[in-house]
Structure 1
Amino acid sequence: MRLDIKHWQLLDAIARFGSLGHAAEVIGVTQSALSHRLAEAERRLGSAIFERDGRRLRVTPAGQALLETAQTVLPELERAEQDFERVAANASYLVRIGVSSYSAYHWVPGFLSSVNNQREKLQLDFIAAATRDAQTALLSGATDLLISPGLITNSALEGKKLFQDELVLVTHPEHPLAKKAYIEADDLADQDYLTYSLDALPGFEYEQFIRPAGVRPRHMQLVEMTDAIVEMIGVNLGVSILSRWALSRALNQGLVSAVPLTRKSLPLTWYVMSRKSDRSNAAIRLTEKNLLHWFKAPEASFNNSSGG
């Protein structure tokens, strides 16, 4: 190997913070020392890794592959150290779980009860950061398993189907659209629409339902937390298209209503995503197996607000 671990850490820090100054502060060395370290790495490799773009550093096409490797390997090394420390201290194995896109954790108490006999040696943490930046959270090691509405396409990740859901229009119970058997995209033309993301996510409502009809809601408002969207709908401040499962508790309590999209409905498949590099991690595989079993069990049905 031509590069040392300090060089890989440098690549990751510069890519994340965009400048030598910020990267040096995070790593804990002077900017001058970090500049010399970068020059040393580029000298060893015989080519530039970064190029200047004003005051910022931008990774070169050749350096991009190095950066992707650094972002994969460094979290793996950090997790290996943490796992060693836990085993050495006879501590439980830690598995971090996140839910992508939706702040939907109504199923957690029931799930934890189902694996209660394993919890002495298996600690499960639930990571909110995955809701907004799911892929990064999983790739970086912030989470080990991800409950995802849709399959994330990345060569470093793999997914297994958890359950079948559907996207529905969510309205106030007394909203005129709540009385319809189903809605078409044209029904949104005069609505105030609340969305947790302005990106046109593959497989979701904008790509499958709204854009093909050439319809744009009267007003679109970005509300990045789905819990907040539900609260706003509950006082009739707009409508949204969301997962029926993720809103099962609010639906069961009558806070909001759900209307199918089109006569055939708009399906949504949920997956449990993991890193391929963790295939031999027994704790992660056991937790994944428990999740797959739980979401197929009767107590995890959509009609049980405490179980799923």
Structure 2
Amino acid sequence: MHIELRHLRTIRAIHEAGGLAKAADLLRITQSALSHQIKGLEEQVGMELFGRRTKPMRLSAAGLRLLRVADRVLPEIEALEVEFDNLRHGSAGRLHIAIECHACFEWLLPVLELFRHTWNDVDVDIRPGLAFSAIEALERETVDVVITSDPEDIPGITFAPLFDYSPLFVAAAGHPLADKPFIEPEDFLGETLLTYPVDRSRLDVFSMLLEPAGVEPAAIRRVELTEVILLLVASGRGVTVLPDWVLREVKFHSDYITRPITEKGLTRRMFAACRAEDTAKPFMAHFTRLARTEAVKLQRGRSGMTAAPSPILTASGGQGQTTP
């Protein structure tokens, strides 16, 4: 037996209309074409599906069984058509994000909270476990966006600039280095450096400062959570280097001091990498806009004046950079 969707729609239309003429109008076909379709369907089933001598026209027991199938299947097909239409027009889809930046949760979660209010039909997820193979996961379509500060020249991958940030030194308020206007590599020689548990190549303090200078801290302590890092700093258990958006409240806290790294300071740029064909999707463009604006708000902190918006390149190039 070969049952098609048009057969299920026919059964439903006749049941709702109560006659062939009205059902044909609902289906937008001629009455003769509908009669021919019914005849062919009944030949497949091997029994009558309608009581033709009743008014309104009623389904037989076999017809009612087929109607139950139509009531289950057709709504799912119609919902699927709506989903596909939304996908074509960019109002639905998937936004699975991999982050190469351990501290990015601080600004990414507020961005996604705003994003979901507009794009409730977009499936959002964060995949932190893919940090060491994020770009490969993007190429395999395992994820849709990679948050990174290390842009590469990869065919089919676009790196959209988001915002500039500054890694800052943080120590307890009574620390001897509080007297210095800025921090130099040699200042870490006698210090316990508190870092996230990621490879050194992904930490700005190593890739941008200590390794080029050939300096090794007295000790390194790896800590998972930003809050715990700051707790240890405040209690004098070590010093740290964190991106400015993490320190929006710390700057005003009497337990801490923050200082720029080197006299000129350090500046990095964050990017959102995605597949080139996805850049035209409306929800992807909106996510990028939110990431640019909301992160800057965090950088400004509660005063709204502690940082200015960073100039963002309009092209996707840039120098290689490392994550905070």
Once the two structures are overlaid, the 10-residue window that deviates more, 84-93 or 182-191, is 84-93
Q: Distance in 1 between matches of 2:115 and 2:107?
A: 13
Unmatched 5+ stretches in structure 2: 1-79, 308-324
Name 1:244's counterpart in structure 2: 244
Q: Kindly provide the amino acid, as one letter, of the partner of residue 201 in structure 2.
A: A
Residues 249-306 of structure 1, C-alpha deviation per residue, up to 9 Å, x if partnerless? 554556643211111001111112212353454433442344345456xx45431499
Q: Structure 1 residues 221, 211: closer, same or farther in 2, change over 3 A?
A: same
Residues 122-169 of structure 1, C-alpha deviation per residue, up to 9 Å, x if partnerless? 343334335565435534444322332342554453212111111111
Count of residue correspondences? 221
Name 1:199's counterpart in structure 2: 200
Provide the secondary structure at the position in 2 that maps to 1:241. Answer: strand
- The offset of 1:180, in angstroms, is 2.2
Asked if 1:303 is matched to 2:319, the reply is: no
Residues 14-36 of structure 1, C-alpha deviation per residue, up to 9 Å, x if partnerless? xxxxxxxxxxxxxxxxxxxxxxx
Q: Structure 1 residues 209, 300: closer, same or farther in 2, change over 3 A?
A: closer
Q: Distance in 1 between matches of 2:103 and 2:133?
A: 12
Q: Work out whether residues 99 and 131 of structure 1, in 8 Å CA contact, stay in contact via their aligned partners in 2.
A: yes
Q: Distance in 2 between matches of 1:148 and 1:305?
A: 28
Q: Kindly provide the amino acid, as one letter, of the partner of residue 269 in structure 1.
A: R
Name 1:36's counterpart in structure 2: none
Compare CA radii of gyration and give the structure with the larger one: 2
Asked if 1:87 is matched to 2:88, the reply is: no
Q: Structure 1 residues 153, 214: closer, same or farther in 2, change over 3 A?
A: same
Q: Work out whether residues 130 and 138 of structure 1, in 8 Å CA contact, stay in contact via their aligned partners in 2.
A: no
- The offset of 1:174, in angstroms, is 2.9
TM-score in terms of structure 1 length: 0.57
Name 1:46's counterpart in structure 2: none
* Aligned alpha-carbon RMSD (Å): 3.7
Of all paired residues, the percent bearing the same amino acid is 21
Q: Structure 1 residues 219, 293: closer, same or farther in 2, change over 3 A?
A: closer
Unmatched 5+ stretches in structure 1: 1-83
Name 2:184's counterpart in structure 1: 184
Provide the secondary structure at the position in 2 that maps to 1:245. Answer: helix
Q: Work out whether residues 165 and 268 of structure 2, in 8 Å CA contact, stay in contact via their aligned partners in 1.
A: yes
Q: Distance in 2 between matches of 1:223 and 1:182?
A: 24
Residues 55-90 of structure 1, C-alpha deviation per residue, up to 9 Å, x if partnerless? xxxxxxxxxxxxxxxxxxxxxxxxxxxxx8992597
Q: Structure 1 residues 128, 173: closer, same or farther in 2, change over 3 A?
A: farther
Q: Distance in 1 between matches of 2:99 and 2:288?
A: 14
Q: Structure 1 residues 120, 225: closer, same or farther in 2, change over 3 A?
A: closer
Asked if 1:164 is matched to 2:160, the reply is: no
Provide the secondary structure at the position in 2 that maps to 1:159. Answer: strand
Name 1:232's counterpart in structure 2: 232
Q: Work out whether residues 101 and 132 of structure 1, in 8 Å CA contact, stay in contact via their aligned partners in 2.
A: no
TM-score in terms of structure 2 length: 0.55
Asked if 1:103 is matched to 2:65, the reply is: no
